[in-house]
Chain A
């Protein structure tokens, strides 16, 4: 029997903004080592779901469990309780943003060293050693002392992944990591994500890169209007989608 270790468990999560429900009753389990691709039309709630998982947004209803930490509505567990738990979650979860969000006032090395030194109280030498190791891993060892604006988009995004990895996360979240990139630079970023998958990292990727989703993802989750329409292994979703809307959406790409 295969032992199953849940890293993320989303149960009946709802999130509303003034405009209306953005995430409407979503449940999703992610096992250790999985790579989940969240796909769907713009505004379907993919990004919000991602931000609910690491507590950058609070849920209105339902619960999110990441490893040992449970996030529920601040109305239920209090603003302070939510913030404390969300911070605990975020210390174990890395996140990569569409627009990289590197810190412009720090060098690439500084970007990687900041959180380990501030949050983990790691000493400078150790932080730098680990940072250089991670930069080598993403192929940026020669860019350590450059400032973010001196890097190409692909290099910046790889640096951002390395920055997240510097906190030794158990889970990586990607919010459209290649959408802001020149098409020629997309692959260098996807390659890093693929490599992490091989090393057994658990990853959730919001993406429009269907080829990447098909080739690398363990499961595809198709969202529309805040709900999961269809979910399954790539072969099933891409070759034999059960739902009419999935078919229509994928028709735009394939």
Chain B
């Protein structure tokens, strides 16, 4: 046991170290303007600063800072995945969304948009060696990629000639697959193309700008006052040239927007932010630079790992309590209770965890139950694993021979006392190894909660990887962190199994569990 407590001490020390290293800095007294965006979708909108991954930068984050300053508020960023941005707004996770949201009539039925803060168009990109595609019409019969839910997707769907539209969730993968030949062309917003395709010698932009789109800041329809303030701030920032300066620094100033705002199309300011981005994103760092960069990620990854651990541990406690109650109800409850327990177990085991998380996080608010992301994650994982634990406990309790109950009843114990003092303590010993294994599985499944806005290890990985285009290196690093935090529990599981085998003379079938989530593992194949 000494070896185990040694591990435990080291572990606790590590956690304390991380906790104390990351105390949030004190805030000023200004009211807070919470803005939502997906920084995994990357440059130039809002993304982690490659020079300082603790900071969020981008032309939109600069615009929101400028607006906040104008209306006397303090901007605070909230991460959410792009598809869930509007749901998160309705859930009051934040008050405004700025993340390349095109103003469309569909979206206007659910949110209010500010006036446009940017205008742009679509661009077609192909591989540098391609000479057959020079405009959209040439993509007949080809595979054309774009992001889901964008203007580009609608344009592709509206073409009269047949082509195959392939939709992606992240820009990086889009252009990656174009280079790899998995698709023949990409139709994307100009800003994205400027940042992901133009600097890449293997790709080229072809044809004239296509279409016209306006980016707006989304607000809840009832927040009329805030919408008015944001619009007045935008007016002022356009008039005094602040917005133009931001856009020029990010190399995003274009004739369309110049015309709309009645300003000159000429570019006066050096695109310093764009150049700085290119320097980081397209640099081929040497081994030493790379190492230094990875070391600089460690605090961020450690913070993600800590969140992953917190979610997993609390969820496991919930799962163990839920599981025990469900197992007891099923084994010993009167029939309606035992039927309910059975239904609970079967339904939760028979539906995907992802759907359960979506239901809890985005579905429940529609009937008035609004859980914060942490609670939703813990309840989602806890109930799902509770169903597994219920089956573990049930098997454990059933594995204790009836002769043990006979012996304790014969000693004068009541039925409940015999369950509590004799059967359960033995059942717990039998189920500890599978429960420890389940915890390791839960640790990995917790990577799913990145989709309900929790910034844990997987979500940190996504942000870093999309910032540095380094899916292999950062993927391996993240996998290593998962492996390391799972390792003590793997050892613990082995230890318990050994104890049990020598102690109760019972063989428990061992399961080999790898502590790296499949999502991280699979993504290692990218770039």
Establish whether residues B403 and A118, one from each chain, have CB atoms under 8 Å apart when the complex forms. Answer: no
Task: Evaluate whether A147 and B406 lie within 8 angstroms (CB atoms) in the complex, with A87-B412, A91-B412 already known.
Answer: no
Q: Tell me how far the C-beta of B249 lies from the nearest C-beta in chain A, rounded to whole angstroms.
A: 70
Q: Which residues of A contact B407 (CB under 8 A)?
A: 95, 97, 101-103
Closest CB of chain A to B210's CB: distance in Å? 73
At the interface, yes or no: B331 with Cβ under 8 Å from chain A?
A: no
Chain A residue numbers with a CB within 8 Å of B426 are: 103-105
Q: Which residues of B contact A102 (CB under 8 A)?
A: 407
Interface size class of A (residues with CB under 8 A): 20 to 34
**A41 to B525 Cα, complex, angstroms:** 72
Interface residues of B in 313-361 (CB under 8 A from A): none
Of listed A90, A91, A97, A147, residue having the most chain B CB within 10 A: A90
Task: Give chain A residues whose Cβ lies under 8 Å from the Cβ of B410.
Answer: 54, 56, 90, 93-95, 97, 164
The contact string, 1 if C-beta is below 8 Å from chain B, for chain A 92-122, is: 1111010101111100000000110011000
**Closest partner residue, chain B, to A55 (CB atom):** B409
A101 and B417 contact, CB distance less than 8 A = no
Q: Is A247 an interface residue (CB 8 A)?
A: no
Q: Which residues of A contact B411 (CB under 8 A)?
A: 90, 94, 114-115, 119, 163-164, 167
Q: CB distance B409 to A118 under 8 Å? A: no
Q: Are B414 and A103 in contact (CB under 8 A)?
A: no
Q: Tell whether, in the assembled complex, residue A167 and residue B505 are in contact, meaning their CB atoms are under 8 Å apart.
A: no
B415 interfacial by beta-carbon distance below 8 Å:
yes
Smallest distance from the beta carbon of A107 to chain B beta carbons, Å? 12
- Chain B hits for A9, CB < 8 A: none
| Cα–Cα, bound, A32→B48 (Å) | 87
CA distance A12 to B368 in the complex (A): 66
Contact A167 B403 (CB under 8 A): no
Would A149 and B425 count as touching, CB distance under 8 A? no
* Chain A residues, Cβ within 8 Å of B414: 87
Complex Cα distance, B411 from A99, in Å, reads: 16
> Cβ of A83 < 8 Å from any Cβ of B?
yes
**Taking the complex as formed, is B194 at the interface, i.e. its CB lies under 8 A from any CB of chain A?**
no
Establish whether residues B406 and A97, one from each chain, have CB atoms under 8 Å apart when the complex forms: yes
Nearest Cβ in chain A — how far from B114, in angstroms? 66
Interface string of A129-172 (1 = CB under 8 A from B): 00000000000000000010100000000000001100100000
Q: Complex: how many Å from CA A104 to CA B407?
A: 12
- Which of B407, B413, B417, B429: most chain A CB closer than 10 A? B407
Separation of A20 and B324 alpha carbons in the complex (Å): 38
Contact A167 B412 (CB under 8 A): yes
CA distance A163 to B409 in the complex (A): 13
Interface membership of B404, Cβ < 8 A: yes
Bound: A99/B404 CA distance, A? 10
> B422 to chain A: which residues have CB within 8 Å?
103, 114
Say yes or no for B498: interface residue by CB 8 A criterion: no
Q: Are B425 and A90 in contact (CB under 8 A)?
A: no
Note all chain A residues with C-beta closer than 8 A to B403.
97, 99, 101
Name the residue of chain B whose CB is nearest to the CB of A163.
B411
Q: A56-B406, A97-B403, A105-B426 known; A119 and B413 CB under 8 Å?
A: yes
Q: Residue-by-residue, is B239-264 near A (CB-CB < 8 Å gives 1, otherwise 0)?
A: 00000000000000000000000000
B503, CB-defined interface residue at 8 Å: yes
Residues of A within 8 A of B408 (CB): 103, 114-115
Q: A104-B504, A105-B425, A149-B505 are in contact. Are A115 and B412 (CB under 8 A)?
A: yes
Which residues on the B side are within 8 Å of A95 (C-beta)? 407, 410
Residues of B within 8 A of A97 (CB): 403, 406-407, 410
* Nearest chain A residue, comparing its CB with the CB of B401: A101
Bound complex: CA of A119 vs CA of B413, how far in Å?
6
- A101-B407, A104-B426, A147-B503 given as contacts; is B413 within 8 A of A83 (CB)? no
Query: Which chain A residues border B503 with CB–CB below 8 Å?
Result: 104-105, 147, 149
Q: How far is the CA of A54 from the CA of B505 in the complex (A)?
A: 30
B334 to chain A, nearest CB (A): 13
Q: Among A54, A102, A118, A147, find the residue whose CB has the most chain B CB atoms closer than 10 A.
A: A118
Q: Is B519 close to A, CB under 8 A?
A: no
B402-446 CB contact bits vs A (8 Å, 1 = yes)? Answer: 011011111111110100011001100100000000000000000
Which among B406, B415, B417, B505 is the interface contact of A119 at CB below 8 angstroms?
Answer: B417
Contact for B412 among A83, A90, A105, CB less than 8 A: A90
CB contacts under 8 Å to A, within B486-507, are 503-505
Say how far B160's CB is from chain A's closest CB, in angstroms.
76
Residue among B403, B409, B426, B503 having the largest count of chain A Cβ atoms under 10 Å: B409
C-alpha gap A103/B413 in the complex (Å): 14
Give Cα A119 to B409, complex, Å. Answer: 11
Contacts A99-B403, A149-B505 given; does A118 touch B425 at CB 8 Å: no
Instruction: Considering the complex, give the chain A residue whose CB is closest to the CB of B502.
Output: A149
Q: Distance in Å from the Cβ of A124 to the closest Cβ of chain B? A: 14
| Contact residue among B409, B413, B415, B504 (Cβ-Cβ distance under 8 Å from A105) | B504
Distance to closest chain A CB from B402 (angstroms): 10
Q: How far is the CB of A173 from chain B (nearest CB, A)?
A: 8
- Could you tell me the distance in whole angstroms from the C-beta of B422 to the nearest C-beta in chain A? 6
**Please, which residues of chain B bring their CB within 8 A of the CB of A167?**
411-412
- How far does the alpha carbon of A122 sit from the alpha carbon of B429 in the complex, in Å? 27
A102 to B406, CA, bound (A): 11
* Residue of A93, A115, A119 with most chain B CB atoms under a 10 A cut-off: A115
Tell me which residues across on chain B come within 8 A of A104, comparing CB atoms. 426, 503-505
- Within the complex, what minimum Cβ distance (angstroms) separates A158 from chain B? 15
CA distance A149 to B500 in the complex (A): 12
Which of A54, A90, A101, A149 interacts with B404 by CB under 8 Å?
A: A101
Contact with B along A167-195 (1 / 0, CB 8 A): 10000000000000000000000000000
Given contacts A87-B414, A104-B504, A105-B504, contact A114 B409 (CB under 8 A): no
**Is A118 in contact with B413, judged by CB distance below 8 angstroms?**
yes
Q: Which residues of B contact A103 (CB under 8 A)?
A: 404, 407-408, 422, 426
- Nearest A residue to B415 via CB reads A83
CB-based nearest B residue for A149: B505
Separation of A54 and B407 alpha carbons in the complex (Å): 12
Would you call B504 and A118 a contact (CB within 8 A)? no
Q: What residues on B are CB-neighbors of A94 within 8 Å?
A: 410-411
Report the minimum CB–CB distance from A56 to chain B (whole Å).
Answer: 6
Question: How far, in Å, is A115 (CB) from chain B's closest CB?
Answer: 4
The docked-state distance in angstroms from the alpha carbon of A95 to that of B412 is: 10
Task: Find chain B residues with CB under 8 A from A87 CB.
Answer: 409, 412, 414
Further pairs besides A87-B409, A105-B504: 6, Cβ < 8 Å:
A101-B403, A103-B407, A105-B429, A105-B503, A147-B503, A167-B412
Residues of B whose CB lies within 8 Å of any CB of A are: 403-404, 406-415, 417, 421-422, 425-426, 429, 503-505
Please name 15 pairs of A and B residues whose Cβ atoms are closer than 8 Å in the assembled complex, sorted by A: A56-B410, A87-B414, A91-B412, A94-B411, A97-B406, A102-B407, A103-B404, A103-B426, A105-B425, A114-B411, A115-B411, A118-B417, A119-B411, A163-B411, A167-B411
Q: Which 6 A-B pairs have the closest CB atoms?
A: A91-B412, A101-B407, A115-B411, A95-B410, A119-B412, A101-B403
